[in-house]
Structure 1
Amino acid sequence: MIFLVAGADRVDAGKTTFSVGLLERVGGAGYKPRAGNDFWFDHDDCRRALADGRLYGKDAARLAAAEGRGREPEALNPVHRLWQPAPDGGTGLLGRSDREFVVDRIGRPGEETYVVNATADLPAAVEERLPLGAADAVETVDELNAAVERRHAPALDALAAEVEAADLAVVESYGDVARPLRSLDPARVAAVAVVEPRRARIYRGDRYWRACEVARSSPQDGRLEKRVPDVIDYLDPVARVPLPPLGSDDRRDPERVARAYADAYDAMLEVAGR
């Protein structure tokens, strides 16, 4: 059984906090198939990971802690992208005027590979701490897309197979991407929560997946993706549940989150038939 948590807002929708509380409520394994952070805006998190020669973000770390299985964040998150600001503008490789892709980590502990943006000036800490000697260096969108097909896609397909084999899995999406793992069997997705500040909307998994099939695709981080706002235009939620604001201490405590968001989790479990 799979519970999917997606965000209606591209940034700060509250997906990770919601997912952490859901893991506390239902147990199971947590997954964040794709993630990203910024060397400037998330510098403390980057320094912490790079100090150990690693690349991961706080979302995957929070999920790993919440599931309580002793797994490293990279085990939950096979694709992580590091960004940095581009103060002089320009579109870089991914059509963004405000930031540029720096490096991707692909794979889980012991099997990591890297793709590097050869048109960007890599931060010294990234060059010094990550094993980039055998990394794919890309200079064009076509080269990046080829690397995604060669490296990213197999890593995500392998994760999808693991998620489907789990007795119960909580999968958190990335940004406002509707389907973080497109190869998942829709029949295994029991319920979907679309989270945004102040509320969660709960959907049946099969209906949400069918809406994903007919929704238009939009550019996101260099790829055409199904976006949550486009998908939910095609279906009504089973439930709309208010989410109370939480202070930082509450957000850090999975038990407090589980209590605060209990009504939303009750609605997901009812949709899933549990």
Structure 2
Amino acid sequence: MNLLVAGADRVDAGKTTFSVGLLEHTGSVGFKPRAGNDYWFDHDDYRRAVEQGRLYGKDAKRLAVAGPGDRRPELLNPIHRLWRPSPGSGSGLLGKTDREFLLDRVGDEYLRNGTVELPESALEQLPLGDATVVESTEQLNAIMERLHLPALDAIAREIDGSDRTVVESYGDIARPLSGFEPDAVAVVEPRRARIYPGRRYAKACTVAAGSAADGQLEERVPAVVELLDPTVSVELPPLGSDDRRNPAAVADAYEPAYDALLATAFE
């Protein structure tokens, strides 16, 4: 059984809180195939990781802690990107006008943006001596085909071979793996979770794919869910910070949503 958790908002949709409670509720293994954080806005999380000579985010860490066994965040999150705000009117290597790409960790390998200066802490504490340096979009696309796609294929096979999984997407991306067809989907946002059958959701992703803005691997949740009616919409109560950090407390508070998600998966 594969369950997908996607977010209707780019940030703060509540995906990871929902996912850790779902892991507690089902005993599943959690995965976040693609993730990223910001050197500025997530600086504490960045520092905690790089001080260990590693690069991962708090979402992957929460999933690793909430799931069964003793798994490193990097094992469930093969691709992690580090960003930084980029004030000014220009656009960077990835065409973003408000932030610039610094690093990718792909498995145990690193890819760095050669058009920007990296933070000293990254240069000193991460194993970047053998990192691949890219200075153009063409180079980046070629390296992503060589590194990123095999990493995503490998995690897709691991998910497919697992008995019970919770796969969390990133931002407002509808699904983090091309062609992934879960058994059921929860689209989460503040105050509610909308539940969809996995096959219908995957078909809607195919219909929504291929826009000039996003490309075939980047279907966004709003474009997908406008093609579907949810099986049910379940209200999510607000949680205090202590409860959000406690998977058992989240599982208890969100139990009606989890029961609806599982009922849809087994239909």
- What TM bracket, shorter-length normalisation? over 0.9
- Paired residue type of 1:247: G
Q: Distance in 2 between matches of 1:270 and 1:77?
A: 28
The structure 2 residue matched to 1:119, chosen from 103, 110, 115, is 115
CA separation of 1:44/1:223 partners in 2, compared to 1, >3 Å: closer, same or farther? farther
8 Å CA contact retained: 1:160, 1:183: no
Checking the alignment, whether the CA contact within 8 Å between 2:104 and 2:112 is kept in structure 1 is yes
Kindly indicate whether the alpha-carbon contact (under 8 Å) linking 2:27 and 2:68 is maintained by their aligned counterparts in 1: no
Q: Which amino acid aligns with 2:86?
A: A
2:157: which partner in 1?
161
- Give the CA deviation at 1:11: 0.7
Q: Counterparts of 2:247 and 2:133 in 1: how far apart (Å)?
A: 40
Q: How far apart are 1:223 and its partner, in Å?
A: 8.2
Q: CA deviation at 1:88?
A: 2.9
2:39 maps to a residue whose letter is: F
**Aligned equivalents of 1:11, 1:217: Cα separation in 2:** 23
Say yes or no: does 1:14 pair with 2:14.
yes
Q: What is the CA distance between 1:146 and its match in structure 2?
A: 1.1
Structure 1 residue 190 displacement after superposition: 1.0
Q: What is the distance in 2 between the residues matched to 1:224 and 1:22? A: 26
**Which segments of 5 or more consecutive residues in structure 1 lack a partner in the other structure?**
none
| Residue among 181, 191, 197 paired with 1:198 | 191
Post-superposition offset of 1:216: 3.9
Q: Which residue among 215, 225, 231 is the counterpart of 2:218?
A: 225
**In the TM superposition, what whole-angstrom CA distance separates every residue of 1:89-126 from its partner, at most 9, and x where no partner exists?**
4210112111100000001xxxx111101111100001
**1:236 aligned to 2:225?**
no
Counterparts of 1:106 and 1:179, CA distance in 2:
19
* AA in 2 matched with 1:204: P
**SS, match of residue 52 in structure 1:** coil
Distance 1:200 1:90 in 2: 37
Offset, 1:182: 1.1
Q: How large is the Cα RMSD of the aligned pairs?
A: 1.4
| Residue 173 to residue 28, structure 1, CA distance change in 2 (3 Å) | same
Aligned residues: 266
Do the aligned partners of 2:209 and 2:216 also contact (CA within 8 Å) in 1? no
Report the counterpart of residue 60 of structure 1 in structure 2.
Answer: 60
Counterpart CA distance in 2 for 1:79 and 1:170 is 17
Partner of 2:207: 214
**Aligned-partner Cα distance in 2 for 1:224–1:172:** 16
| Counterpart-to-counterpart distance in 1, 2:231 and 2:30 | 24
Percent identity reads: 63
Mapping of residues 7-86 of structure 1, within 5 Å:
7-86=7-86
Contact between 1:7 and 1:196, CA under 8 Å: does it hold in 2?
yes
> Which amino acid in 2 is paired with 1:80?
H
For the residue of structure 2 that corresponds to 1:266, the secondary structure is: helix
TM-score for both structures, normalised by structure 2 = 0.96
For the residue of structure 2 that corresponds to 1:234, the secondary structure is coil
- Distance in 1, Cα, partners of 2:21 & 2:90: 40
Q: 1:185-213: per-residue Cα shift (whole Å, max 9, x none)?
A: x2xx2110000111100000000000000
The structure-2 alpha-carbon separation of the partners of 1:154 and 1:183, relative to structure 1 and needing over 3 Å to count, comes to: farther
Counterparts of 1:135 and 1:89 in 2: how far apart (Å)?
Answer: 29
| Conservation of the 8 A alpha-carbon contact between 1:157 and 1:183 | no
